[in-house]
């Protein structure tokens, strides 16, 4: 999070007040009297119609909770973020998208603590995209969770 502060005494304005807002695609372009609002992956900025209004919009940011109950195979959707697997009734195969948005992350969790007898299996829709250099990742502990990030060619876990 970025903040700026200009100290003022009670009732006075700072000596230089930005009167124009410049939007861009993530690169600051300093200009006299301008306040640059930076965009980044997942954040867009605009100043439509008025230099006194700046709109900051979050894009490609999802906080969707998806409840999956086994036995099942679930294809992760672009709007998913947290996939909660109930494996008490059987295994869950979670198939990640082959090419989601760059740097999109997903969290997958065994919520019922039954991953040892009823596996949570993580793969991709094609079964060809790597997840930390393997095509299939299987949970080995009850209540295990994993975060995955798509780097443009494969998934990284963390």
Q: Is residue 7 part of a domain?
A: no
Same domain, 82 and 54: no
Same domain, 51 and 73: no
So what's the pLDDT on residue 28? 44
Query: Per-residue pLDDT for 9 more than 80?
Result: no
Q: How far apart are CA 84 and CA 69, in angstroms?
A: 8
CB–CB of 76/83 below 8 Å? yes
Over the chain, what is the mean pLDDT? 79
Of the candidates 70, 111, 116, 112, the residue with the CA atom closest to the CA atom of residue 93: 70
Q: Is residue 14 part of a domain?
A: no
Which residues have a Cβ under 8 Å from the Cβ of 49 and sit 6 or more positions away? none
pTM: 0.63
So what's the pLDDT on residue 29? 47
The separation between CA 75 and the C-alpha centre of its own chain, rounded to angstroms, equals: 18
So what's the pLDDT on residue 54? 61
Same domain, 94 and 121: yes
As a whole number, mean pLDDT of residues 134-150 equals: 96
The CA-atom distances, in angstroms, between 35 and each of 20, 24, 64 are 7, 11, 33
Which residue is listed with tokens 């409840």? 67
pLDDT digits (tens, 9 = 90+) for 55-111: 666 665 556 899 999 999 999 998 899 999 999 999 999 999 999 999 999 999 999
CB–CB of 156/123 below 8 Å? no
Same domain, 146 and 94: yes
Query: Per-residue pLDDT for 3 more than 50?
Result: no
Higher pLDDT, 16 or 100: 100
**Total of domains in the chain:** 2
Of the candidates 125, 123, 127, 129, the residue with the CA atom closest to the CA atom of residue 146: 123
Range of the domain at 32: 20-58
So what's the pLDDT on residue 2? 47
């Amino acid at each position: 999070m970025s903040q700026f502060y200009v100290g003022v005494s009670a009732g006075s304005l700072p000596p230089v007040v930005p009167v124009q807002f410049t939007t861009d695609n993530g690169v600051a372009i300093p200009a006299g009297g301008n306040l640059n609002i930076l965009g980044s992956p997942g954040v867009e900025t605009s100043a439509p119609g008025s230099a006194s209004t700046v709109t900051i919009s979050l894009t490609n940011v999802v906080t969707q909770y998806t409840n999956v109950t086994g036995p099942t195979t679930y294809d992760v959707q672009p709007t998913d973020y947290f996939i909660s697997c109930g494996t008490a009734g059987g295994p869950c195969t979670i198939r990640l998208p082959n090419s989601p948005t760059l740097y999109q992350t997903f969290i997958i969790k065994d919520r019922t603590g039954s991953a040892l007898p009823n596996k949570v299996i993580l793969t991709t829709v094609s079964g060809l995209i790597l997840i930390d250099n393997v095509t299939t990742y299987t949970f080995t502990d009850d209540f295990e969770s994993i975060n995955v990030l798509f780097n443009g060619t494969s998934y990284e876990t963390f």
